[in-house]
Amino acid sequence: MAPQFNSTPRAPRILIARFSALGDIVMMQPVVTALRAAYGKDAVVDFVCMARCRQAAELLSGIDVVHTVERGTGEVLNTLREREFDYLLDLHGTVRSRSLARSLDVLTFSVDKQAWNRWRLI
């Protein structure tokens, strides 16, 4: 008898990384809303941030789990790997978030914050 395969694709598992800046974290609500509109309630949408920003991240409607770090992403790396994310949305664009992307080895979409151009203006 031939093996049976489930032809229904699984809902995507998405991790959003925005480590700090309370106001910027709160401003992530439209991103979460758009992800939920596109992928529905079956999608997994998690958030990773610094521990001091946890309360702001928990205000985001549509987030399944908020993962926090005190100092570095290594603190939660095993937990994040166990969640088997399909995508990482790097909305911070820092060394920390790029390191996380490399460590998780997932398809990553990042934002270009034009930090270098802003720094040159000083």
pLDDT at 34: 97
Q: What are the structural domains, with CATH classification, of the chain?
A: 13-120 (3.40.50.2000)
Instruction: Please give the chain's pLDDT, 122 residues, in tens.
Output: 555 666 667 899 999 999 888 888 999 999 999 999 999 999 999 999 999 999 999 999 999 999 999 988 889 999 999 999 999 999 988 888 888 999 999 999 988 766 656 666 66
Token pair belonging to 48: 């990773």
Q: In what order do the strands lie in the sheet with 13-17?
A: 66-69, 44-50, 13-17, 87-90, 107-110
pLDDT at 32: 97
Rounded-to-integer distance, Cα 76 and Cα 83, Å: 11
pLDDT at 97: 87
Q: CA end-to-end span of the chain, whole Å?
A: 70
